[in-house]
């Protein structure tokens, strides 16, 4: 019987039992490949991380939803940085993902890591047919063009008129799931530096995500490209309230016109549990 240890961390929050849950298997070298997806399904969080040695970074991470492996995702990367960076006492930890190496700057109070900022892969942008997705979401129109951003996770953005419209959403999960397992649908509203968002990815086994780091950076890009904020402005994103997991994300995009130069997403995280599987 082999023992595989993991840590549970709540991400994009500084309050335990809120934010987005993440399980991190801190040493996955002896885990059989066929167990990775099974363990992610068994745990049932929106993502589970498996950590390996890396020649290109401090560690290599593999990210699984309950149904599929992802090249990159935000809250697993930030949460893994908190779990691995705390004992290593690093100011910046570099994590190798399938979408490239992601550096995460860690901020401390004393010896404790309290905040992290990750430089995300710059997204590829393309238009997205709005009719089917608006129907699946149950909304009539988007206030901005409906576009897809791909930074390792593919996200579609739909702008609504107000935060109450975001809160009232009741999408058709089966219709959204037909778009596939590695795409998320983000509905948002707000102004200035404050924005509210909800993200649905039922095709990947995530009916609604409490906090989506991979979507926060492209949201800042989307807002800057369409003139709702200036390039370089930091936005504060509220997510997860409707499912009892309130989360706060910080995002900033640098660039000009249609050129994206840098994308950064930050937040806090709290380790809440440690456990092991005996298999």
Angstrom CA distances, 139 to 73, 162, 165, 170, 171, stand at 27, 12, 9, 10, 9
Q: For the CA atoms of 224, 117, 96, 62, what is the dihedral angle to 10 degrees?
A: -90
Q: Would you state the pLDDT for residue 169?
A: 98
> CA-CA distance, 154 to 214, in Å (whole number)?
9
Global pTM? 0.96
Q: Would you state the pLDDT for residue 195?
A: 98
Asked if the model's pLDDT at residue 271 lies above 90, the reply is: yes
More confident residue, 182 or 260: 260
Q: Would you state the pLDDT for residue 178?
A: 96
Radius of gyration in angstroms for the set of CA atoms belonging to the chain, rounded to a whole number: 18
Per-residue pLDDT reduced to its tens digit, 69-123: 999 999 999 999 999 998 888 899 999 999 999 999 999 998 899 999 999 999 9
Average pLDDT of every residue of the chain: 96
Per-residue pLDDT reduced to its tens digit, 8-36: 999 999 999 999 999 999 999 999 999 99
CATH class of 124-266: alpha beta
Asked if the model's pLDDT at residue 165 lies above 90, the reply is: yes
Choosing from 30, 34, 42, 47, the catalytic residue is: 47
Strand runs (DSSP E) across the chain, as ranges?
3-11, 20-25, 47-52, 59-64, 69-70, 92-97, 100-109, 112-119, 124-127, 147-150, 154-159, 183-191, 194-201, 206-209, 234-239, 247-256, 259-267, 269-278
Mean pLDDT of 48-71: 96
> CA-CA distance, 60 to 46, in Å (whole number)?
19
Q: What are phi and psi of 131, to 5 degrees?
A: -55, -55
Mean pLDDT of 61-68: 94
- Cβ atoms of 269 and 116 within 8 Å: the answer is yes
Asked if the model's pLDDT at residue 148 lies above 90, the reply is: yes
Q: Would you state the pLDDT for residue 183?
A: 95
Q: Would you state the pLDDT for residue 197?
A: 98
Q: Would you state the pLDDT for residue 94?
A: 97
The DSSP letter of residue 138 is: T
Superfamily of domain 3-118+268-278: Diaminopimelate Epimerase; Chain A, domain 1 (3.10.310.10)
List Cβ neighbours of 271 (8 Å cut-off, separation of 6 or more). Answer: 7, 8, 9, 82, 83, 86
Q: Would you state the pLDDT for residue 182?
A: 85
Same fold, 3-118+268-278 and 124-266: yes
- With CA atoms as reference, report the closest residue to 24 among 8, 35, 45: 8
Mean pLDDT of 201-227: 96
Q: Spell out the domain ranges in the chain.
A: 3-118+268-278, 124-266
163 is catalytic: no
Q: Would you state the pLDDT for residue 90?
A: 87
């Amino acid at each position: 019987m082999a023992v595989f240890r993991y840590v549970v961390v709540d991400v994009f929050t500084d309050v335990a039992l809120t934010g987005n849950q993440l399980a991190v298997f801190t040493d996955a070298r002896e885990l059989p490949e066929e167990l990775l997806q099974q363990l992610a399904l068994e745990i049932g969080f929106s993502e589970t991380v498996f950590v390996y040695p890396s020649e290109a970074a401090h560690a290599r991470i593999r990210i699984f939803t309950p149904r599929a492996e992802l090249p990159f995702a935000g809250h697993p990367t930030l949460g893994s940085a908190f779990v691995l960076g705390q004992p290593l006492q690093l100011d910046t930890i570099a994590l190798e993902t399938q979408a490239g190496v992601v550096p995460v700057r860690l901020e401390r109070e004393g010896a404790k890591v309290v905040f992290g900022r990750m430089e995300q892969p710059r997204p590829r942008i393309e238009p997205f047919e709005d009719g089917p997705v608006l129907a699946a979401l149950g909304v009539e129109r988007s206030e901005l063009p409906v576009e897809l951003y791909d930074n390792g996770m593919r996200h579609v953005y739909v702008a609504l008129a107000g935060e109450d419209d975001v809160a009232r959403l009741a999408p058709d999960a089966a219709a959204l799931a037909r778009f596939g397992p590695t795409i998320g649908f983000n509905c948002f509203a707000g102004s200035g530096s404050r924005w509210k968002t909800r993200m649905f990815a039922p095709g990947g086994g995530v009916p609604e995500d409490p906090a989506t780091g991979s979507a926060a950076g492209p949201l800042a890009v989307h807002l800057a490209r369409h003139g709702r904020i200036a390039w370089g402005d930091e936005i504060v994103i509220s997510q997860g309230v409707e499912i009892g997991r309130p989360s706060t994300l910080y995002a900033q995009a640098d660039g000009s016109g249609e050129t994206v130069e840098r994308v950064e997403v930050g937040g806090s995280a709290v380790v809440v549990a440690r456990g092991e599987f005996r298999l």
